[in-house]
Amino acid sequence: MALASFLPATLAAANLGPLAYYWYTWMNPHRLVWGMLNIQWGKFFAVATLLGWLFSSGKKKIAWNIVTVMIITFYLWTILTTMTAKFPDQAFSELQEWSKVVLMCLITTAIMQSRIRLHTLIWLLVISIGYHGVKGGLFMMLSGGNYLVVGPPQTSIAPTNEVARAFLMTIPLAYYLSKHSAHRYVRWTMLGVTLLLMAALVGTNSRGALVAMLAMMGFAWLYMKRKILIVVGAAIVLAAAVVVLPAERTSGLTARFSTIDEYEEDGSFQGRVRAWNYAMEVGRKSPIFGNGFGTFDFGFEKAAHSNYFEVLGEHGYVGLSIYLFMVISAFFYSGVIMSRAKRQKELYWARDLALCLRFAIVGYLVGGITKNHAFFELFYVELALLAIVGALVKQEIRQTHAPPASDTRFAPAIAGQGPGVVTPASAIRPASPAE
């Protein structure tokens, strides 16, 4: 009943729609209590958000930029590939879920176009996923690392790899809040949440997510002023991990990394190679459209083990080109926002947020080399955040450089005077009744 109460509230106030939807999607409150009905509340929240947005009195303009344009372009291409899919039933089923992701992403850019609403959404994402991350990080340390960290059961982030990528994408947002919160104690708390998310990620024992986090930290190191502190901090974290994790866990993890050099004997890696070869074979036979959604689940009966080969097999080389352009353009668009925002002190928050979202994109790109999460919803939520930041920065710059309303240089001509010249009222002779 508590979840159902959000539906009329969302219809009345559209800005509550994305908050309710993403809270349900990532915190999964229905899995934290007993006796909840197995209802797909996410679809109800998505529909209620759409209706509330359409019938609201506020602006309905989507934040148009290269990011949203490429998301729509990629989505339209997946519709075409679904029409020619080799497994149509599975393809249409996955297209419905993908459509919900894109719909909420675009509506979010339209509804949350203010700094307050944007930060509210960021806080909600960090609290929702951070709840599982803080709990997982503490569990990992208190148990001495004897058990794996997993996500809430019967959810999209239940397996270790899925919850690890959720932690990975949330770490930059938590770090941003640790820098841009009003109170010192809140900033320190969010820094602690960031570290616990990192600990929880290590506790998942996900090799791909750990490599992605290290790549993300290495990229962040390039932008840090006090680089030595980052090196010392990373050394402390690694040393603590060696001390806390039991010998069988550390030996198992190092053994998995050692197989990188012994790839010919690594069964896991050989399975990835077979999946990649299958994707290239599908691309060779159907280079334009691919085989549509469900190619690997039904055609290969195993995961694609890569974002890029997943898109290649399902949506062809054209789809892969659009996908890569979408992700790379988002990376460079974050740089454009940073360049624009650094010119005004009032926009430093936007510069830092764009930088943190750039960190997340790097983690997503590296993690996608060996794990298939091309349609992972949290990534598209963060693309929506990036689009909103770009729109807010553009709006602020436009308002800053707009001429004041009282500027007489832009006043209209009066009584035959030259353009932009204002004649004093005392110099204008009042008309007589005869005139």
37 and 104 within one domain? no
For residue 398, name the pLDDT band (cuts at 50, 70, 90): confident
Exposed/middle/buried for 4, CB within 10 Å: 0-12, 13-18, 19+?
exposed
391 and 297 within one domain? yes
The pLDDT of residue 262 is above 60: no
107 and 20 within one domain? no
DSSP state of 425: G
Q: What is the pLDDT of residue 60?
A: 75
The tally of domains found in the chain comes to 2
178-225 confidence digits (pLDDT tens) = 999 989 999 999 999 999 999 899 889 888 898 999 899 889 888 887
288-337 confidence digits (pLDDT tens) = 999 999 999 888 878 888 999 999 999 999 999 999 999 999 999 999 99
Q: What is the pLDDT of residue 414?
A: 42
181 and 110 within one domain? yes
- Domain of residue 24: give its range: 9-60
Q: Would residue 345 count as lying in a domain?
A: yes
111 and 90 within one domain? yes
Instruction: Tell me how far apart the alpha carbons of residues 317 and 320 are, in angstroms, rounded to a whole number.
Output: 5
Q: What is the pLDDT of residue 433?
A: 43
106 and 216 within one domain? yes
Instruction: Tell me how far apart the alpha carbons of residues 196 and 132 are, in angstroms, rounded to a whole number.
Output: 10
Q: What is the pLDDT of residue 427?
A: 41
Q: Would residue 236 count as lying in a domain?
A: no
Q: Would residue 139 count as lying in a domain?
A: yes
Q: What is the pLDDT of residue 142?
A: 82
140-156 confidence digits (pLDDT tens) = 888 777 788 898 888 88
Contact 330, 299 (CB under 8 A): no
Exposed/middle/buried for 180, CB within 10 Å: 0-12, 13-18, 19+?
middle
73 and 47 within one domain? no
304 and 364 within one domain? yes
For residue 267, name the pLDDT band (cuts at 50, 70, 90): low
Rounded to a whole number, what is the largest CA-CA distance in the chain?
Answer: 106
For residue 419, name the pLDDT band (cuts at 50, 70, 90): very low
- Which residues, including other chains, have CB under 8 Å from residue 434's CB and lie 6 or more apart? none
Contact 192, 130 (CB under 8 A): no
- 388, two tokens: 């909103």
79 and 49 within one domain? no
Q: Would residue 95 count as lying in a domain?
A: yes
Q: Would residue 191 count as lying in a domain?
A: yes
Contact 352, 346 (CB under 8 A): no
> For 101-113, what is the HEC assignment?
HHHHHHHHHHHCC
Q: Would residue 377 count as lying in a domain?
A: yes
- What is the residue type of 153? P
56-93 confidence digits (pLDDT tens) = 877 778 999 999 999 999 999 999 999 999 999 999 99
Q: Would residue 196 count as lying in a domain?
A: yes
323 and 177 within one domain? yes
Contact 385, 118 (CB under 8 A): yes
Mean pLDDT, range 243-251, rounded to an integer: 59
Q: Tell me the whole-structure pTM to 2 decimals.
A: 0.86
Last residue of a domain, one of 36, 60, 84: 60
299 and 158 within one domain? yes
**Smallest Cα–Cα separation from 217: which of 240, 205, 202, 203?**
202
Instruction: Tell me how far apart the alpha carbons of residues 221 and 133 are, in angstroms, rounded to a whole number.
Output: 23
- DSSP string over 90-143: HHHHHHHHHHHHHHHHHHHHHH--SHHHHHHHHHHHHHHHHHHHHHHHHHHHHT
Instruction: Tell me how far apart the alpha carbons of residues 76 and 82 are, in angstroms, rounded to a whole number.
Output: 10
Mean pLDDT, range 115-141, rounded to an integer: 93
Question: What value does the mean pLDDT of the chain take?
Answer: 83
Q: Would residue 383 count as lying in a domain?
A: yes
